[in-house]
């Protein structure tokens, strides 16, 4: 069974975003969807920055419409100098981290193995 999106927004304590950025998800979290978050959840975005409308989120944090926000992504990366999220940099209910969720030791080892194999295959193909 699936729960309707609006129902999730209304009853969730934590909303964690893990979806691709496309036409259907661009600004999925916006002024209207934030208004439906009646339990004032913690919002986490480790997907893509464009899924969240930066200005609407900034307004929601300042008005205490949501409990807090954590993210390692921004609408534009590197973050634009005029991004409203920059005003939240020292906010006690906001946590930003570098966009490096992929950077586990295991992921880096896999990356280097794949890269080494591709270089080796390229060299062997040229001979």
Could you list the active site residues?
Answer: 48, 77, 99
The Cα 11–Cα 21 span in angstroms is 24
Count of CB atoms within 10 A of residue 94's CB? Answer: 18
40: left (phi over 0), alpha (psi -120 to 50) or beta: left
Q: 44 - beta bridge partners?
A: 16, 70
């Amino acid at each position: 069974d699936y729960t309707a999106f609006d129902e999730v927004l209304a009853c969730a304590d934590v909303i964690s975003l893990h979806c691709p950025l496309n036409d259907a998800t661009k600004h999925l979290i916006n002024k209207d969807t934030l208004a439906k978050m009646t339990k004032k959840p913690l919002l986490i975005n480790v997907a893509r920055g464009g899924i969240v409308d930066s200005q609407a989120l900034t307004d929601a944090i300042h008005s205490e419409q949501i409990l807090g926000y954590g993210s390692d992504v921004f609408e534009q990366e590197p973050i634009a100098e005029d991004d409203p999220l920059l005003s939240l940099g020292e906010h006690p209910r906001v946590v930003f981290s570098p966009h490096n969720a992929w950077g586990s030791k295991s992921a880096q080892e896999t990356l280097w193995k794949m890269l080494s194999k591709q270089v080796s295959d390229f060299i062997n193909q040229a001979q």
